[in-house]
Structure 1
Amino acid sequence: MEIQQLEYFKVVAEIEHMTHAAELLNISQPALSKSISNIEQEIGVPLFDRQGRSIVLNRYGKLFLERVNTILEEYNRAKQEINGLIMPGYGEVSLGFIHTLGMEIVPELMAHVHEKYPNIKFTLTQASSLNLLELLEEGDIDLCLSQRIESKIVDIEWIELWKEELFVIVPENHRFANKEFINLSEIKDEPFVSIKKGNALRHIVDQLLKDVGIAKTNITFEGEDPHTVAGFVSAGHGISIIPDIKGLNEYNVRKISVKEPICERKIGVSWVKGRYMSPAATKFKNYLVEYFK
């Protein structure tokens, strides 16, 4: 039994349609049918229930598909590892990062990375913390730059890279606008513009408010990202707590440092513990730790 036969079986099993699978694989239908038949003869049981032109994966086929997926994953992993040894400095890395890092930090980082590793191909994904977590769980990204994220499905490793101060921002004509420092408890009765739920920054801010006895029930708007939040604060819809994002000074807002409690968020790199990481991804992860030291 050859690897190609297993790849053919996997496609047929997922599509459950011989003609469509043959078109996708760019081979003739008789050749594909023969390949599947050879596998069934070698194993000794049918893997599909055939009903006219339709085929349905049976219980033997479902069991075999699980093993085939494992075999193909290990095969591809072995190829990547060997390629990493034969061609160091080559490979592919998929990196996810939260929205606020896309304005300055990640673009500057990638400029340095391309100079150091010109032959590594990078795929970048910008998304909310919740979406990045899903991508990490499903194996669609190798690494993630964000606050610490936790999963109920996989074990996630996280290394802190840097800290960002969080500021209270208010409209320019607000009664707090001339303050240089503020205690977080002072904003108790203020209307609030918040980041949407599902974002790790929202969780951090909610916890900070909770710690000083503030339950924000007067949220006027929930934005997808800090720039949207700053825009709504600028227009007088309330105050907020966000990091010092690039371009914040272009809005009609004032940022105020929080004296008590310490308001900050920690940004780090995450990956799935125990999951295979290519030599290129491992090299890049180590580079991130050195870069942000």
Structure 2
Amino acid sequence: MELLQYYYFNKMAEFENLSRAAEALYVSQPSLSKMLSRIENEVGFALFDRHGKSLQLNEYGKIFLTHSQQIVNHSESIQEALNQVAHTASRRLRMASSNTSLLNRWLYDFIKKAPDLGLRHTILNDNQAIMQLLSGEIDYAITLGRLAHPELTSQLLWTDSYQVVANAHSKYAHLKEVYFYELKEANFFALPQKPDFPRYIDQLARQAEFVPRIIFESEIELILEILPSLDALIVCLEQSDTFYSRLEGISAIRLLDPFAACDVFINWHKDKQHNDAGKMLLTYITEDLPHLFVKESQLGEQRLRKPRYAE
């Protein structure tokens, strides 16, 4: 027996009148009468005592109604559960980034605007991000530089720049700007090396063509604790990295090298059908994110000058 038959039967039992039940169900009275006959033929018993268009449940009908109501109620609870799952899925966002610093300043602001959002974030290198975007395991990837793949779409979020942070006791603390090569004798802090995750210090040193004298590897918590007391520098991003702002006596030194500029992109599969959470994120980065970051359309003139060390 179809679910619709149980539903119609319950309405007939509720109104005890074919005409009123048909009106409530937006069907004709003859078609509802045929439905009742079909139900009774299937169960093999008359379920109502008829008095014209009026109906009265008999002994069989009362038993049938008890089970019919349970069936309809159970079907509605199933639908509610499915709707809840669908709603939860529509509010779920799966993201990845190559560095958590790329989420600073803006992700918390986005979450505040969508407090019921379900968020999963993972750290992936560029190749891993491409594979998971293509497979649908993640919805978006935030990366330094565009992910190059014909099936992916990328959008510039902001243009950032590498900088060097020093404490007040450092011999470099008086500098406002410098070419990275001029720091070849400096000591550096850096996060531990990980396979397939190039560090900022390694990328810049390679392009400036020197090997740092000392790199003190540590997790960020220890770096924050000892940075104010040791004469060592740390490479970070001007707009994205905000950890040093928690410390006193710390100065930022701007890098003048052309390669010290970098673009931050959000990437997704071009055929991706975004759910509600995904659409909210795209709206946020279009309408709200520009107010948090200063986008630079081109490098400043100071980065295009001839390096002092090449003179």
For normalisation by structure 1, the TM-score amounts to 0.54
Give, in angstroms, the shift of residue 270 of structure 1. 1.5
Tell me how far apart the structure 2 counterparts of residues 255 and 276 of structure 1 sit (CA, whole Å).
Answer: 42
Change (3 A) 1:234 1:264: farther
In the alignment, is residue 239 of structure 1 matched against residue 233 of structure 2? yes
Spell out the pairing of 1:115-194 with structure 2 (5 A cutoff): 121-125=117-121, 127=123, 129=125, 133=129, 136=133, 139-148=136-145, 150=147, 155-194=151-190
Q: Post-superposition shift, 1:129?
A: 4.4
- For 2:198 and 2:230, the matched residues in 1 are separated by 20
User: What root-mean-square deviation, in Å, do the aligned CA atoms of Structure 1 and Structure 2 show?
Assistant: 3.8
How far 1:292 sits from its partner (Å)? 2.4
Q: Does the alignment pair 1:281 with 2:278? A: yes
Contact kept? 1:129, 1:198, Cα under 8 Å: no
167 and 283 in structure 1: CA distance in 2 versus 1, 3 angstrom threshold: same
Q: Distance in 1 between the 2:112 and 2:127 partners?
A: 25
Matches within 5 A, 1:231-270: 231-236=225-230, 238-244=232-238, 245-251=241-247, 252-261=249-258, 263-270=260-267
* Structure 1: runs of 5 or more not aligned: 1-82
Question: Which digits, 9 at most, give the CA deviation of each residue in 1:100-157, with x for residues without a partner?
Answer: 245532101222345xxx6xx33131536469727546533211233236489x9543
Q: 2:126·2:147 contact (CA, 8 Å) conserved in 1?
A: no
Separation in structure 1 between the aligned mates of residue 289 and residue 195 of structure 2, nearest angstrom: 23
CA distance in 2, matches of 1:237, 1:146: 31
Q: Percent identity at matched positions?
A: 14
SS, match of residue 256 in structure 2: strand
Aligned to 2:191: 195
Give the C-alpha shift of residue 263 in structure 1: 2.2
Q: Residue in 1 aligned with 2:105?
A: 104
Aligned to 1:50: none
Q: Distance in 2 between matches of 1:163 and 1:229?
A: 26
CA drift at 1:193? 1.9
Tell which deviates more after alignment, 185-194 or 155-164.
155-164
User: 1: distance between equivalents of 2:226 and 2:127?
Assistant: 24
Q: Where in structure 2 are there 5+ consecutive unaligned residues?
A: 1-82, 291-311
Match for 1:291 among 273, 277, 288?
Answer: 288
1:187 Cα offset (Å): 0.3
Measured after TM superposition, the shift of residue 177 of structure 1 is 0.9
1: distance between equivalents of 2:194 and 2:154?
Answer: 19
Give secondary structure in 1 for the equivalent of 2:107: helix
- Conservation of the 8 A alpha-carbon contact between 2:170 and 2:232: no
Task: Show the counterpart of 1:222.
Answer: 217
Count residues with an aligned counterpart: 200
